[in-house]
């Protein structure tokens, strides 16, 4: 084996391996450093994303309920088309009555007779007084004509003739007075016959044979009540909120307790066109055709008004939203909506009817996503995370 060249050292041969080891170690360190940096950046990104996600509020979404119809149920009372309490117009005692409650009568039919002895005596005296006044008038006329002839012959003075003419005129006037008194008592005597003012049904009788009749006193009561029940009036007080929706001719349904499960139809004919300041309601009159004589005047009824889901003053559709979805801002009443990109949009609305837990409003499309119980600090453009309820509002 030849000797190594001069100046050559055997221990220097492993240097290339050491260099490679250093390079590999450096590369591994660099990879570890880069990987650690990337992991820290990824963790920071995840932390930022989770922080932003935690900052986005989660909201409950409800959808407005459609209002194809709006139903209002109110109490009312049925009344006869005509109802007349029949009073006595003369004093006396009831001689006889001919009809009782529930009987049908015709116009002018005799209901009862009153025995009026006082009026009969007064009438007889008035007729006698009329006969006396007539005789006095006739005598004064004869005397006047006689004095006229004497005056024409200048047998009496003109003054005496004028006095006789005055006596005749006064006698004529007193006879007219006596005749008027007779006519008055004849009319009063005619009131002893109690007749029906129109065709109908006797709904009350408050007298009997022999009862004392005292007409024209504060304690006087009607002897009979006659009602026309072929048609019935139905009166109901409608809240001011619905006053603008009352239209003449509109048909409404109503029920009565004596016919459970059966619905009757009436139509509106008049309204008072004024709101009572004490009750805040407008009186409405309906009419029901009672040709079958099923319903009775004075009965209680429940009237159901059905209105289209449109605001009559604006012609816009009405929708229902929960009262808890309202936001009160400086520019008025609003609700918070969520758009397709999950951002908030503040929408002004107009409340038409307050149902308590729900409101009938305008200004919202039926497909809107309304935020229920919104936070007071929500603003336009805020991001939100929806949480749909199991049963959407209005479903």
Q: Where are the domains of the chain?
A: 60-68+313-387, 90-112+195-221, 117-191, 229-308
Assign 3-state DSSP to the chain and report helix, strand, coil percentages, each to 5.
30, 35, 35
Query: For the whole model, what pTM was predicted?
Result: 0.59
- Which class would CATH give 60-68+313-387? mainly beta
Question: Measured over all CA atoms, what is the biggest interatomic distance in the chain, rounded to whole angstroms?
Answer: 215
Residues 6+ apart with CB under 8 A from 38: none
- The C-alpha atoms of residue 162 and residue 148 are separated, in whole angstroms, by 9
- Three-state DSSP at 289 gives strand
- Assess contact for 196 and 228: CB atoms under 8 A: no
pLDDT of residue 283: 94
Task: Please list, residue by residue across 9-42, b when 16 or more beta carbons sit within 10 angstroms of its beta carbon and e when fewer do.
Answer: eeeeeeeeeeeeeeeeeeeeeeeeeeeeeeeeee
By the 10 Å C-beta count (0-12 exposed, 13-18 middle, 19+ buried), 198 is classed as: middle
Both tokens of 222, joined, read: 């009607």
pLDDT in tens, 127-173: 999 999 999 999 999 989 888 888 888 888 888 888 888 999 999 99
Tell me what the mean pLDDT of segment 81-104 comes to. Answer: 93
pLDDT of residue 267: 94
Q: What are phi and psi of 49, to 5 degrees?
A: -65, -45
pLDDT in tens, 336-357: 888 888 888 888 888 877 777 8
- Assess contact for 326 and 368: CB atoms under 8 A: no
| pLDDT level of residue 174 (50, 70, 90 thresholds) | very high
* Lowest-pLDDT range of 23-37, 46-60, 138-152, 181-195: 46-60
Task: Please list, residue by residue across 52-87, b when 16 or more beta carbons sit within 10 angstroms of its beta carbon and e when fewer do.
Answer: eeeeeeebbbbbbbebeebebebebebbbbbbbebe
- The C-alpha atoms of residue 169 and residue 71 are separated, in whole angstroms, by 77
Q: What are all long-range contacts of 94-97, with beta carbons under 8 Å and residues at least 24 apart?
A: 94/207, 94/208, 94/209, 94/210, 94/211, 94/213, 94/223, 95/192, 95/209, 96/209, 97/205, 97/207, 97/208, 97/209, 97/223
* Lowest-pLDDT range of 86-100, 240-254, 262-276: 240-254
- Report the range out of 27-41, 53-67, 326-340 with the highest average pLDDT: 326-340
pLDDT of residue 344: 87
Asked if pLDDT for residue 229 goes beyond 90, the answer is yes
Asked if pLDDT for residue 18 goes beyond 90, the answer is no
Q: Which residue has the tokens 């049925």?
A: 78
| Mean pLDDT of the chain, nearest integer | 84
| pLDDT level of residue 395 (50, 70, 90 thresholds) | very low
- Which class would CATH give 229-308? mainly beta
pLDDT of residue 8: 47
| pLDDT level of residue 49 (50, 70, 90 thresholds) | low
Asked if pLDDT for residue 15 goes beyond 80, the answer is no
pLDDT of residue 308: 67
pLDDT of residue 218: 76
- The C-alpha atoms of residue 270 and residue 286 are separated, in whole angstroms, by 7
Q: Partners of 86 in the beta sheet?
A: 224
* Lowest-pLDDT range of 63-67, 77-81, 94-98, 355-359: 63-67
- The C-alpha atoms of residue 82 and residue 79 are separated, in whole angstroms, by 8
pLDDT of residue 391: 46
Q: For the residues of 81-131, what is the DSSP string, one character each?
A: EEEEEE--SS-EEEEEE---TT-EE-TT-EEEEEE-HHHHHHHHHHHHHHH
Q: Rounded to the nearest 10 degrees, how much is the dihedral formed by the CA atoms of 216, 93, 201, 195?
A: -80
| pLDDT level of residue 47 (50, 70, 90 thresholds) | low
Asked if pLDDT for residue 316 goes beyond 70, the answer is no
- The C-alpha atoms of residue 92 and residue 85 are separated, in whole angstroms, by 19
pLDDT of residue 313: 52
pLDDT in tens, 323-332: 888 888 888 8
| pLDDT level of residue 231 (50, 70, 90 thresholds) | very high
CATH architecture for segment(s) 117-191: Orthogonal Bundle (1.10)
């Amino acid at each position: 084996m030849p000797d190594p060249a001069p100046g050559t050292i055997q221990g220097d041969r492993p240097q290339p391996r050491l260099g490679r080891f250093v390079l590999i170690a450096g590369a591994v360190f660099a990879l570890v450093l880069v990987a650690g940096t990337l992991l820290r950046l990824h963790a920071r990104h995840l932390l930022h994303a989770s922080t932003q996600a935690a900052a986005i509020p989660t909201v409950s979404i409800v959808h407005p309920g459609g209002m194809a119809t709006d139903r209002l149920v109110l109490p009312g009372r049925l009344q006869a088309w005509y109802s007349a309490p029949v009073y006595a117009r003369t004093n006396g005692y009831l001689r006889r009555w001919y009809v009782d409650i529930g009987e049908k009568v015709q116009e002018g039919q005799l209901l009862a007779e009153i025995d009026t002895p006082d009026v009969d005596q007064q009438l007889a005296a008035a007729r006698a007084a009329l006969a006396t006044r007539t005789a006095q008038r006739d005598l004064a006329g004869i005397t006047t004509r006689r004095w006229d002839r004497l005056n024409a012959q200048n047998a009496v003075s003109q003054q005496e003739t004028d006095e006789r003419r005055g006596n005749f005129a006064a006698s004529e006037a007193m006879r007219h007075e006596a005749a008027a008194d007779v006519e008055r008592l004849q009319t009063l005597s005619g009131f002893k016959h109690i007749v029906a003012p129109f065709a109908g049904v006797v709904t009350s009788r408050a007298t009997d044979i022999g009862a004392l009749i005292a007409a024209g006193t504060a304690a006087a009561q009607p002897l009979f009540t006659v009602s026309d029940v072929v048609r019935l009036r139905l009166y109901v007080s409608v809240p001011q909120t619905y006053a603008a929706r009352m239209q003449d001719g509109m048909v409404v349904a109503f029920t009565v307790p004596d016919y459970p499960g059966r619905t009757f139809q009436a139509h509106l004919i008049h309204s008072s066109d004024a709101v009572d300041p004490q009750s805040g309601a407008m009186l409405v009159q309906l009419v029901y055709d009672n040709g079958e004589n099923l319903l009775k005047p004075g009965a209680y009824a429940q009237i159901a008004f059905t209105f289209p889901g449109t605001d009559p003053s604006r012609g816009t559709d009405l929708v229902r939203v929960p009262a808890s979805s309202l936001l009160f801002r400086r520019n008025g009443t609003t609700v918070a909506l969520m758009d397709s990109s999950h951002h908030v949009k503040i929408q002004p609305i107009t409340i038409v009817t307050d149902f308590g837990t729900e409101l009938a409003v305008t200004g919202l499309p039926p497909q809107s996503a309304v935020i229920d119980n919104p936070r007071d600090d929500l603003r336009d453009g805020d991001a939100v995370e929806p949480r749909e309820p199991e049963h959407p509002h209005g479903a």
